[in-house]
Amino acid sequence: MAIANVEMAAAWDGPEGQHWAEHAERYESMGPAFWDALVAAVGIAPTDDVLDVGCGTGRSSRDAARLAPSGSVLGVDLSGPMLERARTAAERDGLTHLRFVQADAQVHPFPVAAFDVALSSFGAMFFADPAAAFANIAGSLRPDGRLGLLAWRRLDENEWLGSLRTALAAGRDLPSPPVGMPGPFGLADPEQVRELLRSAGLRDVALEAVDGPMRFGADVDDAFAFVSTLGMTRGLLHDLEPDVATAALTALRTELGDHETPEGVLLQGAAWVITARA
């Protein structure tokens, strides 16, 4: 497997990917409003051949396969542990026209003009060289093929991330993750996204803001048991003294409790649905 995005491969084919694989059902059901908006915007026809970039544990690929029963779906991801879970779920569901490949979509030799649709659900923000990656993906689309992406908007628009970071700050002034760089806000700037996709040879680029709740657990105990193990949480606690880390976790639990509802612990997310055509 050719790898250009070495740093992300180390994370997603390592501990971060293993965590997602272990908690696949929770991750896959966390924010259904975003996926529903992407599917509505792209429109997958029964005979479409679909490429799912950054497919993770495969929920998006399985949904696409159900929408295209007479087509095909190829899911690609950097993570071996996540793809193992994806293959197991696809086999369980009898989706024989769905297959998975461990690959770096930035450099993987996709067949030319092979797909009607290319999708990515919160995976395309992490490319080390997004210009090269989108040019590669665009080349795999048939004429008039559709691209559909989900990507987070800015930090100050995403309650879920801002609230968790504030609770874990422990008095520190945490730097904001950069916009337009590989990471959660890699596609947060609309003008940068338009220029990036147009430069890759795509047209009719559009961004639609979508907001929705994200469910982190059935109640505060369930949510805390999950959120306290996230890579973000571990990273923010890493350099803290034990007593300070304990206080930060207490603040995290309080924050989650403040968002407990009869439907579970809900925090708001804010994303872009990004669409374009070959």
CATH number at residue 191: 3.40.50.150
What pLDDT shows up at residue 5?
Answer: 63
User: Is residue 34 in some structural domain?
Assistant: yes
Structural domain contains residue 109: yes
pLDDT in tens, 28-58: 999 999 999 999 999 999 999 999 999 999 9
**pLDDT per residue as tens digits for the range 160-176:** 999 999 999 999 999 88
This prediction has a pTM of: 0.94
User: Could you tell me if residue 258 is inside a domain?
Assistant: no
Is residue 127 domain-resident?
yes
Among 86, 73, 80, which residue's Cα sits nearest to residue 27? 86
Report the candidate in 4, 12, 9 with the shortest Cα–Cα distance to residue 231: 12
Residue 24 resides in a domain:
yes
- Write down the pLDDT at residue 16: 84
Q: Give the HSE-up count for residue 157: Cα atoms under 13 Å, Cβ half-sphere.
A: 16
- Domain hosting residue 122, numbered range: 6-154+177-216+267-277
Residue 23 identity: H
Comparing CA positions, the residue from 153, 176, 152 lying closest to residue 166 is: 176
Confidence of residue 253 (pLDDT cuts 50, 70, 90): very high
Q: Answer yes or no: is 248 within a domain.
A: no
Say how far apart CA 249 and CA 224 lie, in whole Å.
9
The answer to whether residue 230 scores a pLDDT higher than 70 is: yes
Q: How are beta strands 141-152 and 115-121 bridged, if at all?
A: parallel
Count Cβ atoms within 10 A of the Cβ of residue 179 and give its class: 0-12 exposed, 13-18 middle, 19 or more buried.
middle
Is residue 129 assigned to a domain?
Answer: yes
Count how many domains the chain has: 1
With cut-offs at 50, 70 and 90, classify the pLDDT of residue 213.
Answer: very high
CA 240 remoteness from chain centre: 28
Instruction: Give the Cα-Cα-Cα angle 233, 241, 185 (nearest 5 degrees).
Output: 30
**Look-up: residue for tokens 């990471």?**
183
Place of tokens 């461990």: 102
Residue 239: burial class (beta carbons within 10 Å; 0-12, 13-18, 19+)? exposed
In a domain, 238, yes or no: no
Mean pLDDT of the chain: 94
Q: What is the pLDDT of residues 133-154, one digit of tens each?
A: 999 999 999 999 999 999 999 9
